[in-house]
Structure 1
Amino acid sequence: MTDDRAKSRAEHPLPEEEVVGSDDFQEQSEAILLESDIREEEPEATEQSVLQHEDPEKIERRTSEEAAE
């Protein structure tokens, strides 16, 4: 993943991302793009296999209801 991709995505979040906000759009963008890249390389990737590529301490867990608040 390139820094330019994450920077561009952080500067232009999706409308639903803007509504719920983020403590750090840059970090959020990096995590979303990393997961996207992994799933593109491994279409059958599960959440568990994606997590193997990420730092579990950085992953924010919330339900769809919590995300909509």
Structure 2
Amino acid sequence: MTDDRISERAAELLPEERAAGSDDPRAQAAAILADSDDREFDPQPLEERASDETATTGEATR
């Protein structure tokens, strides 16, 4: 992760991120990019279900 990449991400916070505020936008950007990199290089497998494994009407879901 480069300083330029962190600076660009810190300068372009999403509206939700701006609304929440941040004491340290660079640290916030670094954390966001680190999480993004982790997900890119070690993606979690998708959960696949067959149609007979779905919730039916009236069945409680979490």
How far apart are residue 11 of structure 1 and its match? 1.0
Query: Looking at CA atoms only, which structure, 1 or 2, has the larger radius of gyration?
Result: 2
Runs of 4+ in 1 over 4 A off after TM superposition: none
1:37 maps to 37
Q: Distance in 2 between matches of 1:39 and 1:8?
A: 20
**Counterpart residue identity of residue 18, structure 1:** R
Secondary structure of residue in 2 paired with 1:43: coil
TM-score by length of 2: 0.67
Percent of residue pairs identical: 53
RMSD of equivalent CA atoms:
1.3
* Distance in 2, Cα, partners of 1:34 & 1:17: 16
What is the Cα deviation at residue 44 of structure 1? 1.4
Normalised by the length of structure 1, the TM-score is: 0.61
Residue of structure 1 equivalent to 2:24: 24
Q: Unpaired runs of 5+ in structure 2?
A: 46-62
1:6-25 map, 5 Å: 6-25=6-25
Aligned length: 45
Following superposition, the deviation at residue 8 of structure 1 comes to 0.5
**Paired letter, 1:25:** P
- Tell me which protein shows more helix as a share of its residues: 1
